[in-house]
Amino acid sequence: MKCLLVSDLHYALKQFDWTIAVAEEFDVVVVAGDHLDISGHVEGRAQIVVILNYLRRLNARVRLIVSSGNHDLDARNETGEKVARWMSKVRNLGVATDGDALDIDGTLFTICPWWDGPSSREQVAAQLARDARRDKKRWIWVYHAPPDHSATSWYSGRWEGDADLSGWIAEFVPDFVLSGHIHESPFQKQGSWVDRIGSTWVFNAGRQIGPTPTHVILNTERQEALWFSLAGAEVVRLAEPFRRPVDELQALPDWLRPLADRGTDPSRG
């Protein structure tokens, strides 16, 4: 399975355009939260209309998975906690989203919402416990924030990750966690786009300016994960012991060359 991870596009429409352009080269595209930009000049409801149109176009090209992030909260639940209620409109497009589980040939994706308080936190805990009981060959979580005390959550001298996620990883041991949220982690000296916690691989795509988003490409058959950005490209081989510093990508693997042949080279940020 070839999976493309992007996150934190924050209403950068050219980055959505890029994602649509490359989508058909992948089996799955994951957009892991923060589709909207709460500090932007376009009103939030108008942003939602535009992003729903982009997600509709993406879903027509590829199996699409979408989670919410902290910028996507547009309502409150019965306990007063903020929620991304418009994710129900994403589900109406036929897209797997917050609270859903999607099985693709034995790989189970658990898509978690951004939680804002104890009530929504307990819903996420129950969701993970539910999916832990399901039969699966591989388990992938889509969760906007990276875990705490991980290189994927390092920012300006401190950890900025989700401590509850760290506990859930220890309890349930997923194979992969696909995240974002901490834009700068991949670019910081003590940070990274990748970490390994026990046997769990964690990825944070990060964020950059320009028409091409930072992105992670995961190939579960070839046991490789690659990160592309304006700062360069790196690769980890999942069947080998994890080590730092992470290897720079010297050349595109053969399974990615068709993308470059189409003129959409992911190594060129």
**What CATH number has the domain bearing residue 104?**
3.60.21.10
Domain presence at residue 166? yes
The per-residue pLDDT for 256 is 87
Residue 10 counted as domain residue = yes
Please report whether residue 66 resides in a domain: yes
The reply to whether 266 falls in a domain is no
Residue 265 has a pLDDT of 57
Mean pLDDT of 40-55: 94
Q: Please write the tens of the pLDDT for every residue from 195-217.
A: 999 999 999 999 999 999 999 99
Average pLDDT, the chain: 95
Count Cα neighbours of 173 within 13 Å in the Cβ-side half-sphere.
4
Q: Measuring CA to CA, how many Å separate 180 from each of 7, 78, 93, 206, 214?
A: 5, 28, 23, 6, 10
- Which residue type occupies 41? H
Assess if residue 183 is contained within a domain. yes
Number of domains in the chain: 1
Of all helices (H) and strands (E), which one includes residue 141? Answer: strand 138-142
User: Could you tell me if residue 177 is inside a domain?
Assistant: yes
CA distance linking residue 63 with residue 65, whole number of Å:
7
82 - beta bridge partners?
76
Q: Is residue 269 a part of any domain in this protein? A: no
HSE-up of 98 (CA within 13 Å, CB side)?
24
DSSP 162: B
Is the pLDDT score of 7 beyond 90? yes
pTM: 0.95
User: Given a cut of 80, is residue 56 above it in pLDDT?
Assistant: yes
Percent of the chain with pLDDT over 70: 96
Whether 133 maps to a domain, the answer reads yes
Q: What pLDDT is attached to residue 260?
A: 65
Helix boundaries (H) for the chain: 13-22, 44-59, 87-92, 118-132, 163-172, 257-261
Exposed, middle or buried by CB within 10 Å (0-12, 13-18, 19+), for 263? Answer: exposed
Q: Which domain holds residue 86?
A: 2-261
What's the rounded mean pLDDT across residues 246-261? 84
